[in-house]
Amino acid sequence: MTPLRQRMLEDLQLRNYALGTQKNYIAHVAAFARFFNQSPEDLDQEAIRQYLLHLIQERKLSAEAINQQSSALKFLYLTTLEMPWSDVDFPRARRAHKLPVVLSHEELLAFFDQVPSLKYRAALMVCYGAGLRVSEAVALKISDIDSQRMLIRVERGKGGKDRYAMLSERLLQVLRRYWIAARPTGDYLFPSWRKERHRSPASLQTACREAALRAGLRKRVTVHTLRHSFATHLLESGTDVRVIQVLLGHSRIDTTARYTSVSPRLLAATVSPLDRLEARPAQTTAAGRRQPR
């Protein structure tokens, strides 16, 4: 490992970046250095511009991938190398606004019926029943299930933040049946075959994808689709958007508010201000004539 890579890794660790983010940032910077066959210390803003254009024009990467690369380079140059540059030296691609995919209640029933493994069915039901991210669900520990207060403790969620998620009565029953049948050993609720490790997010994504195919769902279904469905169905049932924000662990309310645009039921139930207009009585003038208000 080069001294520069070691220092960047230490800077990431000092700022408590998630392990996955650390690995991605280091990999992005390494790819940047390989492209020019030079150390990043010897490259400037024009090199950053050329590289990002290469990713867009030649490799046809998505806006999300471009922005992650830009963020990694920004951290390297502004934090580790302490270059006197600004944010404008790290352009970001404009992301297309896409509505999240949401499953109906009927689609969810068909989906869960096609998950043969008790372990995977329980983990996927946690994602829908509590609105957890895939990384949060697989990392749950047995001690995180608080059946007394009907809460799930989520440790080090996105951004390294802890929070509580809801534990419904039905989800608790599912988890109890799973625990009795599987008797997971160790701390993790969904342990891996590797000692002291939890099930990988990739394995849960695979189980999700295969169940969606067997259920005949034409939508592109991922584990995150279950989280989107959780939020949308709560909104449709009348739950305050600020409560949903807390349950999802969103730091910004506008991130949660986007679910209002994917709920046809909520939109259809909204009363138009035109329907609230009432005819007002006309006023009478001093001459006895009535005139509209």
Q: What is the pLDDT of residues 126-156, one digit of tens each?
A: 999 999 999 999 999 999 999 999 999 998 7
Residue 280, domain member (yes or no): no
Catalytic residue check, 28: no
Burial of 193 per CB tally in 10 Å (0-12, 13-18, 19+):
exposed
Which residue among the candidates 5, 92, 209, 224 is catalytic per the annotation? 224
- 43 with 166, same domain? no
279 in any annotated domain:
no
Does the annotation mark 158 as catalytic? yes
- Kindly name the residue from 28, 119, 121, 133 that is annotated as catalytic: 133
| Residue 73, pLDDT score | 97
186-232 pLDDT, tens digit per residue, is: 899 999 988 889 999 999 999 999 999 999 999 999 999 999 999 98
**Do 153 and 118 share a structural domain?**
yes
The total of other beta-carbon atoms located within 10 Å of residue 250's CB is 17
> Domain check: are 258 and 117 in the same one?
yes
User: Is 110 within 8 Å of 193 (Cβ atoms)?
Assistant: no
The residue out of 27, 56, 89 marking a domain boundary is 89
Q: Is there a single domain that holds both residue 76 and residue 188?
A: no
Has residue 238 been placed in a domain? yes
20 and 146 in a common domain? no
Q: What is the predicted pLDDT for the residue at 1?
A: 79
Range of the structural domain that residue 84 is part of: 3-89
Q: Do 188 and 73 lie in a common domain?
A: no
Structural domains counted in the chain: 2
69, 27 in Cβ contact below 8 A? no
Q: Is 289 a catalytic residue?
A: no
CATH number of domain containing 20: 1.10.150.130
Within a domain: 73: yes
Q: State whether 66 and 111 are in the same domain.
A: no
Per-residue confidence (pLDDT) for residue 271, from 0 to 100: 64
Q: Which of 74, 198, 199, 227 is catalytic?
A: 227
What pLDDT, on a 0 to 100 scale, did the predictor assign at position 3?
Answer: 94
Could you say which of 54, 89, 124 is where a domain stops? 89
∠ CA 192-225-266 to the nearest 5 degrees?
Answer: 145
Q: Which whole-number Å values give the CA distances from 153 to 10, 137, 178, in the listed order? A: 29, 11, 19
For the record, the structure tokens of 193 come out as 């075959």
Is residue 75 domain-shared with residue 166, that is, in the same domain?
A: no
Catalytic residue among 92, 156, 158, 258: 158
Cβ(201)–Cβ(134) below 8 Å = yes
**Residues 157 and 55 grouped into a single domain:** no
Residues 136 and 244 in one domain: yes
Residue 138 and residue 230 share a domain: yes
Asked whether residue 33 is domain-assigned, the answer is: yes
Q: What is the CATH number of the domain that holds 114?
A: 1.10.443.10
250 catalytically annotated: yes
In a domain, 139, yes or no: yes
Among 51, 77, 188, 259, the active-site one is 259
Q: Is residue 286 part of a domain?
A: no
Same domain membership, residue 123 and residue 74: no
- Long-range contacts formed by 180-189: CB under 8 A, 24+ apart: 181/118, 182/118, 182/119, 184/142, 187/141, 187/142, 187/143, 188/139, 188/140, 188/141, 188/142, 189/140, 189/141, 189/142, 189/144, 189/145
Which residues does the chain have with pLDDT short of 70?
159, 260-276, 278-293
Whether 227 sits among the annotated catalytic residues: the reply is: yes
